[in-house]
Chains A and B, each alone.
Chain A
Amino acid sequence: GENVEQHPSTLSVQEGDSAVIKCTYSDSASNYFPWYKQELGKRPQLIIDIRSNVGEKKDQRIAVTLNKTAKHFSLHITETQPEDSAVYFCAAMSGGGADGLTFGKGTHLIIQP
Chain B
Amino acid sequence: DAGVIQSPRHEVTEMGQEVTLRCKPISGHNSLFWYRQTMMRGLELLIYFNNNVPIDDSGMPEDRFSAKMPNASFSTLKIQPSEPRDSAVYFCASILTVNTGELFFGEGSRLTVL
A binds B: yes
Interface stretch, picked from B17-25, B63-71, B74-82, B100-108, is B100-108
- With both chains docked as a complex, state the minimum distance between the C-beta of B44 and any C-beta of chain A, in angstroms: 8
Residue of B97, B102, B103 contacting most chain A CB atoms (<10 Å): B103
Which residues on B sit within 8 Å (CB–CB) of A101? 33, 45, 103
| Interface assignment of A45: CB less than 8 Å from any CB of chain B | yes
Which range contains the number of A residues in contact with the other chain?
Answer: 20 to 34
Q: Determine the residue in chain A with the shortest Cβ distance to B40.
A: A105
Assuming the A-B contacts A44-B91, A89-B43, A106-B42, are A100 and B98 also in contact, with contact meaning beta carbons closer than 8 angstroms in the complex? yes
Contact B106 A43 (CB under 8 A): yes
Contact A46 B55 (CB under 8 A): no
Interface of A is mostly: mixed
Q: Determine the residue in chain B with the shortest Cβ distance to A97.
A: B98
| Interface assignment of A18: CB less than 8 Å from any CB of chain B | no
Contact B42 A104 (CB under 8 A): yes
Q: Determine the residue in chain A with the shortest Cβ distance to B97.
A: A97
Which residues on B sit within 8 Å (CB–CB) of A96? 98-99
Which residues on A sit within 8 Å (CB–CB) of B106? 43
Which residues on A sit within 8 Å (CB–CB) of B42? 89, 103-106
Q: Determine the residue in chain A with the shortest Cβ distance to B42.
A: A105
| Interface assignment of A79: CB less than 8 Å from any CB of chain B | no
| Interface assignment of A99: CB less than 8 Å from any CB of chain B | yes
Q: Determine the residue in chain B with the shortest Cβ distance to A96.
A: B99
Which residues on A sit within 8 Å (CB–CB) of B45? 100-103
Q: Determine the residue in chain B with the shortest Cβ distance to A101.
A: B103
- A: residues with CB less than 8 A from B are 1, 32, 34, 42-46, 49, 89, 93, 96-106
- B: residues with CB less than 8 A from A are 31, 33, 35, 41-43, 45, 48, 55-56, 58, 91, 97-99, 101-103, 105-108
12 residue pairs from A and B, CB less than 8 Å apart: A32-B99, A32-B101, A34-B102, A42-B107, A43-B106, A44-B105, A45-B105, A99-B56, A104-B42, A105-B41, A105-B42, A106-B43
Closest 9 CB pairs of A and B: A97-B98, A105-B42, A43-B105, A103-B43, A100-B48, A97-B99, A46-B102, A100-B45, A44-B105
